[in-house]
Structure 1
């Protein structure tokens, strides 16, 4: 050991190769609590007015199946090469289940009346989803078609 001029011994300290992570854990827990408290406040709904779309259509699918929801609460199913037939959502689900067993990739469209309630259109989508179809598209009219 080394000795100084006054006779004291100099101790060499060994370096520690570890990191004290306790302060980092404390900061992380505080941030976690802050985010947990503020996250529900960020999901509040706001009133918005959606813009009209001038986007071009992606194209008409070949032989689509169309489920219509009317303003008076009626529903109808139109199969390719057939007429529009009024049905209940349960009957639509049963008919679409048979089609789904034969063709998993069939195109299903929802044609909702502009004055139909949101619930009526949601019920039509639910009937399609209950039949097994994962992809459902909505039929809309472009802005320039409304003006004509």
Structure 2
């Protein structure tokens, strides 16, 4: 009776396993953003007020929470305050209000800070123009 030699198949399988183990972490980089599947609608005002984080055209961050709402905050302070608020009220939604002249990288950095602070998803605030350009 002849037998099938499976040693070459095991070698190929182990090589493929190593390739997948090395490439899998590289595929999952980036910022997770939950995009809407339909036309944007206003937030439900019956729910809890969202946490609004603003980034102005100079790249400064402002937190719409607490006593010093008009004062810019550094990234470390912002991360600590957002993490504390989300630990206290985990159902709070987080919204970024970015100036249209701020760089894309600054908004992505802010979203990364919010993600590391425990925000499960981050929304982007826009101004309604009244035009439907579909």
Q: Give the TM-score range, shorter chain.
A: 0.5 to 0.7
Structure 1 consecutive aligned stretches of length 4 or more whose deviation exceeds 4 Å: none
Conserved 8 A contact 1:63-1:80: no
- Give the Cα separation in 2 of the matches to 1:64 and 1:81: 17
| Length-normalised TM-score, structure 2 | 0.60
Structure 2 residue ranges without an equivalent (≥5): 1-38
Written as runs of structure 1 = structure 2, the 5 A alignment for 1:103-142 is 103-142=89-128
User: For 2:57, which of 71, 81, 84 is the aligned residue?
Assistant: 71
- Give the Cα separation in 1 of the matches to 2:92 and 2:40: 24
Instruction: Tell me the secondary structure at the aligned position of residue 110 of structure 1.
Output: strand
Superimposed CA distance per residue, residues 111-147 of structure 1 (whole angstroms, 9 cap, x where no aligned partner): 00011100111111111111111111110012228xx
- Give the Cα separation in 2 of the matches to 1:123 and 1:84: 21
1:107 shift after superposition: 1.4
Max Rg structure: 1
Instruction: Tell me the secondary structure at the aligned position of residue 144 of structure 1.
Output: coil
Higher relative contact order, structure no. (Cα contacts within 8 Å, ≥ 6 residues apart): 2
Structure 1 residue ranges without an equivalent (≥5): 1-53
Superimposed CA distance per residue, residues 93-112 of structure 1 (whole angstroms, 9 cap, x where no aligned partner): 01111112111111111000
- Give the Cα separation in 1 of the matches to 2:40 and 2:96: 19
Query: How many residues are matched?
Result: 92
Conserved 8 A contact 1:64-1:79: no
Instruction: Tell me the secondary structure at the aligned position of residue 86 of structure 1.
Output: coil
Higher strand share: 1
Written as runs of structure 1 = structure 2, the 5 A alignment for 1:32-111 is 56-60=41-45, 62-79=48-65, 83-111=69-97
